[in-house]
Chain A
C-alpha cells in the first residue's frame, strides 16, 4: 500500500465515524445484556441441524435392541435397493478403518480399556449401540431404508447390577471381566480415627443414573473436498475433538477442521468423542458427499452418555461434640459398557472432595469402576463433585441428628474458618479462599431460618399432615479444570491451559479469539467486558470468535467450570500484551520513554503533559506501519496461553424448605435460598442465570429424574415423555445472592460458576425431605424423591429407609 492510499484509507476510516473514543473502566461487574441474544431470539441460528451443503445426504443408524448379544448376521442389501438410498453399511464394513473411541483418562495402573468400535462389529453391549447405517437423500428415505436392514443376534446375558457384576461367576460384559479399575487414596491414620470413635455414621446412598438432556439433540455434518475434511458438530469440545478424531480416523490433524456452530446446551453430554462423529467422517470420505446426522430425542436418551450412577458407602467418625475425626468412602461407579472420553475420571473428580469444607485428621477413598451392559456414563454437570457433595452433606445432617444439634451447628464445628485460608485439606488440595461463615449468615437471613424452624416445630406439634423440612448444603467445589501439572499427576491425557488472542483491527475495533467453546454461557458478552476494561475500548467495538479450529486454532474448550477462570484470564493476558506493544509504539510516536507513559481509559498519556495516543490511534499506526520503532512488528495483535497453578474453590450455602404431604408423598419446594461465593464477578446477570439453571438441574436429580433400565437392559425412560425433566410449573423461584471472596489464583479473582448450583442443590433438597420426615423415623429417601418413594418411606415400607 502506498502512502497516498494509506492516507486515503485513514481519512475514510476517520470520516466514517467508526473509530470510537476510548472508554474508562467499569465493564467488569456490570449486568450487560448479552450480545448473543438477538440472533437466538429471532431465529438467525446456526444449529448444526440447520446447516445445508450442496449434495448433502442424510445418515441414520440402526441401533441394537439387545443389551448384550453376539451379532451373527447383518444384511443391508434390501435397504440399498430402496429409492433415494446411496449406501448402507454394517460394522463389518468399517472394521478396518473405524478405530476405537478414545478414553483419555486411564485413572489407575490396573485400568482395563476395552476396544470400543464406533459401530459394533461382532458384539453389542448396550441397547442403542449402532449396528448398521443407511445413507439416503433425506431423513424420510433413510428411515424407510433402516426398516429393510436385517440383523440376527445371539442373545448374551445382560449385566445390570454393579454388585452382581463383581460377584465371581457373573456373566461378563467384556472378556477381561467386569472390573474396569480400582483405586484407593489414604491420608492420615484412618484406623485410629475410627477406633473408639464416640460417634460413627454409616450410610449408603444411591446416585441414580441421569440423562443430561441438553435441549439441542446432537447433530453432525461432515464434508470433504477429497483432500481436507470439515466436521460440524454439536459439541462442547471442537479442539479436543479434532485431535481425537485425527488419532481415531487417521485423517491428519492439519487436514481436519472442526466447527462447533451454535450449540444448544451440553452440561457435559457434549464433552465427548462420539461414534456418530467418527462414522460421519468415514462416510463422507467413502461417499464424497456431505453427510449429515440428526439425532432424535429418543435416540439421544439411549446413546448420549449418561451421568452419575454410583453406589456410595460413606462412614464418618466424630467426637461426641461433633468434631469429625475421619471419613471413609467406598464407591462403586457404573461405567456402563465402555470407557468413553473421561468415563473413569468422573468418580475421581470427586475423590478429593468428600471432605468438602471440613477439617479432619484422616480420610480414605476407594473406588471401583464397574462394567455393565448399559450406555456408558461420563461427565454430567458437576462430574464427580455433586456425588461427593451429596454424600458428605447428607452425612453431616445425619451427624447433626445423631447429636441432636442443628445441622448448621454441626457444620460450624467442622468447617474451615475464613482466617485459615489458604487451607490444605486432608485430601491434599489447597483451597484458595473462602468465607463460609459470611455466606451462611447471609443465607440464613434471606431464608428466615429461625422463623421457618419455629413453623416446623409448630407443624410437628400439631401433627400437621403437611410437614415442613429444612435442608442445608454448605458446599465447595473444585473449579477451573485445570492446572496441567495436576492433570498430569492424575494421569489425564491432556493439559488444562487455555488460549486467548486479541486482534487489533485498523479501525480500532477488536476481535477476541478464545479457545473456550460456549454453548449458552455467554462468553461473547463476558469476554467483551474483560477486553473492554483491559484495553479501554467500547464494549460494542469488540467481537468474540470461537468454536472453529480454523479461527480459534488453540483451545481446550468448555467444561468443568473452567472457561472464565482459565480462558477469561487468557483473554486478559492477551490484552495486556497488546498494551505492552502499544506502549512501545506510543512512546516512539510521542517521543518519550515507555516509562513516562501511563495507560488510562484507553489512552497512553505522557505524564505531566497533555500529549497522548489512544489505543485505536495506535492500532491504526501499527496498520499503516509508516513510522514504527526499530524492531517492532506492524501489529499489536497478541496471544496468551494461561495455565493456573491451582484449582479455584467457589463455595456457598444453599437452604431449602419443603412441604411434604405425608398422606400423598408429594414434595413441594416452599422456598429456596442460594448464597454463592464465586469470587469476583464479570457479569452478575450471567452468574445469576448460571446459578438458577444449576439449581434446577440439582433439584431435578433430587426430585424428578432417573434413567431406568429393566432387568434385560432395556431403557424404560427413552423418551421425554418417560424421563421427567422439570417444567416451569415444577420449580419455584430461587432467591439468590452472593458473597465475594476473590480467588487468589488468577488476576481476575474469579472462581467459576457453571456447576455450583447443581453441586449444591441436590443435598439441600434431599436433606429437607428427610428433615421433614425424621420425627417419623425416616432417615433417608432414595433419589429421586418421588411421591411414591416419599409415601413408602412414611409408611415404613420398601423404597425408604427408616432408622
Chain B
C-alpha cells in the first residue's frame, strides 16, 4: 500500500493508503477532518472543496495518493488564532448560509476566486462559484458575502 506524506491544516501526517482512496475520505474517515462534507459523486456540487497547495480543489475528485507531498487547508484550518477568516465572517454577517452543508466548499471557492480577481463584480462572483451548489440561499446573500469578504480581505492586506 502506498505511503503518502500530507500536511492538513498545519499537521503533518504519514499514511498508508489504498491507491483508490479519495482525498475526501482520507480527510474525513482517517484524519477526522469532518468539517469537509461530501455532497455528490460526480464533482458537481463542490461541497468538499479544500485548498490544495493554495488553490481550491474538489477533494472528492483527488486521490489521496495524488495529494502526496501536498499542503491541504480545510475549512477547519482557515481561521487563525481562534478567529474566523474574513470570508467566514462575511458569510455570517450577510446570512450567506442556512443549512451550512455547502458552506465549507463555498467559502473555499470564494477565497480562491479572489486570487484571480480581488475586487470581483457580481457577474464574476456568480461565474466563479458556478462549481459550488447551494440549495438553501438562492445565492443572493452568498454573492453579497463574497463582495464583503473581498473588501475586508483587501483592507486587511492594505493595513498589514
Is A484 on the interface with B (CB-CB < 8 A)?
Answer: no
Tell whether A267 pairs with B92 under 8 Å between CB atoms, given A297-B40, A720-B45, A729-B130.
no
Instruction: Report the bound CA distance from A265 to B40 in whole Å.
Output: 14
Is A725 a contact of B122 with CB atoms below 8 Å? Answer: no
Residues of A within 8 A of B99 (CB): 40, 214-216, 263-265, 519-520
Interface residues of A in 262-276 (CB under 8 A from B): 262-265, 267
Instruction: Report the bound CA distance from A155 to B143 in whole Å.
Output: 50
Is A796 on the interface with B (CB-CB < 8 A)?
Answer: no
Residues of B within 8 A of A140 (CB): 18, 20-21, 25
Residues of A within 8 A of B36 (CB): 43
Instruction: Report the bound CA distance from A644 to B21 in whole Å.
Output: 53
Is A286 on the interface with B (CB-CB < 8 A)?
Answer: no
Min CB gap B43→A, angstroms: 8
Residues of B within 8 A of A757 (CB): 138
Interface residues of B in 24-50 (CB under 8 A from A): 25, 28-29, 33-42, 44-45, 47
Interface residues of A in 734-778 (CB under 8 A from B): 734, 757
Instruction: Report the bound CA distance from A214 to B98 in whole Å.
Output: 12
Residues of A within 8 A of B137 (CB): 689, 692-693, 696
Is B102 a contact of A686 with CB atoms below 8 Å? Answer: no
| Chain B residue at smallest Cβ distance from A686 | B95
Min CB gap B24→A, angstroms: 11
Min CB gap B11→A, angstroms: 14
> Which of A39, A721, A729 has the most B CB atoms < 10 Å from its CB?
A729
Is A612 on the interface with B (CB-CB < 8 A)?
Answer: no
Is A41 on the interface with B (CB-CB < 8 A)?
Answer: yes
Is B143 a contact of A728 with CB atoms below 8 Å? Answer: yes
Is A264 a contact of B101 with CB atoms below 8 Å? Answer: yes
Tell whether A522 pairs with B100 under 8 Å between CB atoms, given A265-B136, A296-B41, A728-B143.
no
Tell whether A734 pairs with B138 under 8 Å between CB atoms, given A33-B95, A34-B95, A728-B143.
yes
Is B23 on the interface with A (CB-CB < 8 A)?
Answer: no
Interface residues of A in 455-478 (CB under 8 A from B): none
- Which residue from A44, A265, A733 sits with its C-beta under 8 Å from B140? A733
- Which residue from A39, A41, A689 sits with its C-beta under 8 Å from B98? A689
Interface-located stretch among A45-53, A189-197, A431-439, A507-515: A45-53
Residues of A within 8 A of B40 (CB): 217, 297-298, 719-720
Instruction: Report the bound CA distance from A41 to B101 in whole Å.
Output: 9
Is A213 on the interface with B (CB-CB < 8 A)?
Answer: yes
Residues of A within 8 A of B35 (CB): 42-45
Is B134 on the interface with A (CB-CB < 8 A)?
Answer: yes
Residues of B within 8 A of A44 (CB): 35, 76
Interface residues of B in 45-95 (CB under 8 A from A): 45, 47, 74-76, 78-79, 84, 88, 91-93, 95
Is A38 on the interface with B (CB-CB < 8 A)?
Answer: yes
Residues of B within 8 A of A267 (CB): 135
> Which of A38, A213, A214, A265 has the most B CB atoms < 10 Å from its CB?
A265
Instruction: Report the bound CA distance from A43 to B73 in whole Å.
Output: 12
Is A215 a contact of B141 with CB atoms below 8 Å? Answer: no
- Which residue from A214, A519, A719, A729 sits with its C-beta under 8 Å from B42? A719
Is A720 a contact of B136 with CB atoms below 8 Å? Answer: no
Is B37 a contact of A298 with CB atoms below 8 Å? Answer: no
Instruction: Report the bound CA distance from A8 to B33 in whole Å.
Output: 43
Min CB gap B143→A, angstroms: 7
- Which residue from B38, B74, B97 sits with its C-beta under 8 Å from A43? B74
Instruction: Report the bound CA distance from A214 to B130 in whole Å.
Output: 17
Is A264 a contact of B100 with CB atoms below 8 Å? Answer: yes
| Chain B residue at smallest Cβ distance from A299 | B41
Is A138 on the interface with B (CB-CB < 8 A)?
Answer: yes
Is A41 a contact of B39 with CB atoms below 8 Å? Answer: no
Is A638 on the interface with B (CB-CB < 8 A)?
Answer: no
Min CB gap A726→B, angstroms: 8
| Contact bitstring A209-234, B, C-beta under 8 A = 1, else 0 | 00001111100000000000000000
| Chain B residue at smallest Cβ distance from A719 | B42
Is B98 a contact of A265 with CB atoms below 8 Å? Answer: yes
Instruction: Report the bound CA distance from A44 to B33 in whole Å.
Output: 9
| Chain A residue at smallest Cβ distance from B18 | A140
Residues of B within 8 A of A213 (CB): 135
Tell whether A215 pairs with B47 under 8 Å between CB atoms, given A265-B101, A727-B129.
yes
Tell whether A215 pairs with B75 under 8 Å between CB atoms, given A41-B92, A521-B98.
no
| Chain B residue at smallest Cβ distance from A216 | B101
Residues of B within 8 A of A38 (CB): 84, 92
Is A728 a contact of B130 with CB atoms below 8 Å? Answer: yes
Min CB gap B44→A, angstroms: 4
Residues of A within 8 A of B28 (CB): 49-50
| Chain A to chain B: the 6 pairs with minimum beta-carbon distance, closest first | A43-B35, A40-B100, A264-B101, A520-B99, A696-B138, A692-B138
Given contacts A43-B75, A729-B126, 18 further A-B contacts (CB under 8 A): A33-B95, A34-B95, A41-B84, A42-B76, A43-B35, A45-B34, A49-B28, A50-B28, A213-B135, A262-B100, A519-B99, A520-B98, A689-B141, A696-B139, A727-B130, A727-B131, A731-B139, A733-B122
